Amino acid sequence: MYDKVIRGGRLVTPGGVIEADLAIEGEKIAAIGTGLDGRDVIDADGHFVIPGVLDVHVHLALPFCGTTSSDDYYTGTRAGARGGVTTLIDFAIPYEGDSLSDAADNWLKKAEGKALIDYTFHICITRWDEHKDQIEGMVDRGFTTFKEFMIYESEGWQSDDRAMFGTLEKMRDLGAMLLVHAESSRVLDELIERHHTPELMEQYGARLHRMTRPNYIESEAIQRAVQWCEVTGGQLYIVHMSTKEGTEIIKDAQARGVPVIAETCAQYLVLDDSVFDREDGHLYACCPQLKKPEDSARLWQGLRDGEVSVVSTDTCTFTREQKAMWEGDWTKIPMGMPGLETLMPVVYTHGVLEGRLDIETMVRKLSTDPARIMGLYPRKGALQVGSDADIAIIHPDRKHRIDPDTMETNADWSPFEGWEMAGFARTTLSRGEVIVDDYAVVGEAGRGRWLSREYAGLEPQKSREVEA
């Protein structure tokens, strides 16, 4: 007799989809088989039972663009749980004068008492000369992923090529991984400056966001980051990739054996830049911006073929009131969108139900591969004995209408408002505890735990000698 048994579902396991029961003892998966019995029985008849989703790109309560993103660890983790997310990774960013360790401490405080699901942080390196000697200490503290931004000079976050090169060398030597926001800052600044006139702003409004971020802004930066990855041999992870050109660069680099991994986000798969023609188009400003349908198609292809390893959200929620700060100047729009609650619904509905991905591939891209890449496997990311009992149970085709009034996010709008989507969690379990029941959050804030890690990246790191 086990503590809990999930009975009769279609389990998506590393070995394939099987009809079976899954037993839980305490916080762990204890058995997978038939005829299992438990003190609590959760009926999963007619449902998929999948490992909890890891959203490895999230910004909660982030001071950014002159305001603070409005989903915090309370609303953000509740929103995630409704969408079957059981682990998230946020970005700890050092404020002026802060060490990397101070940044981690600040972010731990944000989560304390509020988080419903488990979490950890990527540590952002924003001042190379000050931070470079602190990296190893952060790995010892259980943080194995670092982040550099190639843009955002005005936020004080921007890194240059010297920092990227040096960080990648350290990643190679420490078995850690560098995440990069790849956009070409100098050319982007030039394009923004050329367009930043009262006449053009009057004429084009929020369309200027798409007009000043052509695809080459992203692809040139990816190319450059990949170059530093190739010569150093340090593990690189390109975040929120949005372009077909970027996907091609990743594919070619991986074929040459370059240790680079790419992530895209749900919004780049199903939205395109025609949203900027809408009256409320400014709501959709995010960074990098939404691209064209052919970019989305190439990203789906990349998920199928393997050069795109992860789908995340880049959740960075701003309310309508916050977005209104732009007052007609697109450079002042707080950039980002809500996403945690709709990640799996988007990928399940537009990927699995529309025949772009099979359910096993979806599970790999939302759960198993993020866990492996971020150093959380086998604790997270798979339905297997010994792993944390982080589980989502989803109905194969029951759809819900996206309505911000009924959602857990603090956002009073959704990029998918009015869409009908399946893939919300009927039940979510986090470490064996039911935190979503019958599509409603029932878990207590503060139960989520910080996750320590010992490695990151898919490939064993190998040093490359610089030839004389």
Q: Which residues bind ligand URP (CB under 6 A)?
A: 59, 181, 286-287, 314, 316, 335-336
Residue whose CB is less far from Zn ion, 55 or 169: 55
CB of 268 to ligand URP, least distance (A): 11
Q: Is the dihedral of CA 423, 261, 92, 107 positive or negative?
A: positive
Question: Which of ligand URP, Zn ion, none sits in contact with 394, Cβ below 5 to 8 A by type?
Answer: none
Q: Which of Zn ion, ligand URP, none is residue 425 near (CB under 5 to 8 Å by kind)?
A: none
CB nearest Zn ion: which residue?
181
Residue closer to Zn ion by CB (options 122, 350) is 122
For 424, phi then psi, to 5°, come to -75, 155
Is the previous residue joined to 338 through a cis bond, with omega within 30 degrees of 0?
no
Q: How far is the CB of 423 from ligand URP (least distance, A)?
A: 23
Closer Cβ to ligand URP, 59 or 78, answer by number: 59
Q: How far apart are CA 424 and CA 400, in angstroms?
A: 8
Q: 354: burial class by Cβ within 10 Å (0-12, 13-18, 19+)?
A: exposed
Q: How far is residue 371's CA from residue 181's CA, in Å, rounded to a whole number?
A: 20
Q: Output 7 or 240, the one with its CB closest to Zn ion.
A: 240
> What span, in angstroms and rounded, lies between the C-alpha atoms of 11 and 6?
10
Dist. CA 230–CA 235, nearest whole Å: 9
Query: Least Å distance between CB 59 and Zn ion?
Result: 5
Which runs of consecutive H residues, i.e. helices, occur in 364-410?
Answer: 369-373
Q: Helices (H), strands (E): how many in the chain?
A: 16, 21
290 binds, among Zn ion, ligand URP, none (CB under 5 to 8 A by kind): none
Q: CA 71 to CA 87: how far, in whole Å?
A: 16
**Residue 336 binds which of Zn ion, ligand URP, none (CB < 5-8 A, kind-dependent):** ligand URP
Q: Considering the complex, what minimum distance in angstroms separates the CB of residue 288 from ligand URP?
A: 7
Binding stretches for Zn ion (CB under 5 A): 181, 314
CB of 420 to ligand URP, least distance (A): 26
Nearest in space to 64 (alpha carbons), one of 151, 186, 175: 151
- Select 13 or 69, whichever has its Cβ closest to Zn ion: 69
Residues 6 or more apart whose CB falls under 8 angstroms from that of 173 comprise 461, 463
Q: Which residue has the tokens 């982030």?
A: 62
Reading the block at residue 354, the tokens are: 């529309």
335 binds, among Zn ion, ligand URP, none (CB under 5 to 8 A by kind): ligand URP
Question: With respect to ligand URP, which residue has the nearer C-beta, 54 or 287?
Answer: 287
Measured from the CB atom, is 125 or 316 closer to ligand URP?
Answer: 316
Residues 6+ apart with CB under 8 A from 428: 52, 81, 82, 84, 86, 391, 392, 393, 434, 435, 436
Shortest distance (Å) from residue 365 CB to ligand URP: 19
- Phi then psi dihedrals of residue 292, to 5 deg: -100, 165
**Shortest Å, Cβ 315 to Zn ion:** 8
User: In whole angstroms, how close is the CB of 358 to Zn ion at the nearest point?
Assistant: 28
For Zn ion, the closer CB: 91 or 424: 91
Residue 337 near residue 288 (C-beta atoms within 8 A): no
Choose the contact partner of 291 out of ligand URP, Zn ion, none; CB within 5 to 8 A by kind.
none
